[in-house]
Every structure is written in structure tokens, then in C-alpha cells.
Amino acid sequence: MITRHAGILVALLLLAGCGGSEPTEGGTPAQSGAATEAPTRSTSAPGAAVFIITPTDGSTVTSPVTVKFGISGMTLAPAGTFAENTGHHHLLIDTKLDNLDQPIPSDAHHLHFGKGQTETTIELEPGKHTLQLVLGDGNHRPHNPPVMSDIVTITVK
């Protein structure tokens, strides 16, 4: 009896392990976790742009700072969406992206807005700071070519 149940359990675990994710529009699994070659980056629309509406470059502000995001030539969509010409914002604070072929990190310097948000309020220490938007695809990877804003430098009093 125990052997029969153990065999059924092993079979169920093997079947569950073979699941994986549904293919994305490009035919590659979305975050399957398998040790395979990374999927190709999503293509951006010609002329697509993201930009920081406020604060403006060179501004002196007080914390907390409200940052408003703009986009043109593409459409905002939640993370996990793989429709053509869509993506979601990532805000880089005092950092740059080291590898455009990897998902954008998620930490205090790389903020993700995977629900399609168009603004945020952040706490910043007094001093100079840089802000930059990067549009990420459904897997949080920069598009090809990347859709990145100009770097905005602000001073927090």
C-alpha cells in the first residue's frame, strides 16, 4: 500500500515538474526557470520614447519627490503582458543598467511599476540624484533597441 502511494506521488511530482509556462508571443517560455538560452528581447516600436515629466533636469526639490512618467509610441501594459509594442516603467535611481540582455534588477535603485503606473513618490536623502526611466517588456527586460529616458539630475534640499 505504501509503495503504491509513493509511486503515485512520484508520478504526480514528475507531471507537475513538466508544466512550465505558456509560450510568449515570440514562442519562448516566460520565466520558465529552465536553464536554457535566454529569450530574445522584445522589439520596441520605431521612435518609441519614455521620459520624466517632473521633476525636470536641474530642479531643486524637497523629499518626498513625486516623479511623473511619460511614454509615446508604445502602450503601457502590466508585467507579464507580451503584446507587441507594450511594456511597463522601471525607474533607475542613482544607477545605470549594466546588462541590457538581463531582466532589470528589483532593488532600492531599480524600482518596478509592473501594474502600468505612471507616477510615484520617493524618499531621497539631501544631495544630488539621478533619475532615468527604462521601459521593460513582460519579463522586465529592456526592449531592443532599449526605450530609455534622458537622465534627469535633481538636487534634494
Question: What pLDDT, in 10s, does the model give residues 68-109?
Answer: 999 999 999 999 999 999 999 999 999 999 899 999 999 999
Whether 93 is in a domain gets the answer yes
Number of domains, the chain = 1
Whether 17 is in a domain gets the answer no
Whether 35 is in a domain gets the answer no
Pairing between β-strand 60-61 and β-strand 152-156 as defined by DSSP bridges? parallel
Whether 91 is in a domain gets the answer yes
Whether 38 is in a domain gets the answer no
Alpha-carbon distance values, 90 to 2, 58, 125, 150 (Å): 52, 21, 20, 13
Type of residue at 69: F
Whether 15 is in a domain gets the answer no
Q: What global pTM score does this model have?
A: 0.76
Whether 127 is in a domain gets the answer yes
Whether 92 is in a domain gets the answer yes
Nine-digit cell at 120? 510615484
Are the C-beta atoms of residues 138 and 79 closer than 8 Å to each other?
yes
Alpha-carbon distance values, 132 to 34, 53, 109, 137 (Å): 31, 11, 10, 16
CATH number of the domain bearing residue 77: 2.60.40.10
At 34 the pLDDT is 38
**What stretches in the chain show pLDDT beneath 50?**
1-37
Main-chain dihedrals φ then ψ at residue 71, nearest 5 degrees: -150, 145
At 21 the pLDDT is 31
Tell whether the torsion through CA atoms of 133, 135, 141 and 145 is positive or negative. negative
Structural domain span for residue 60: 49-156
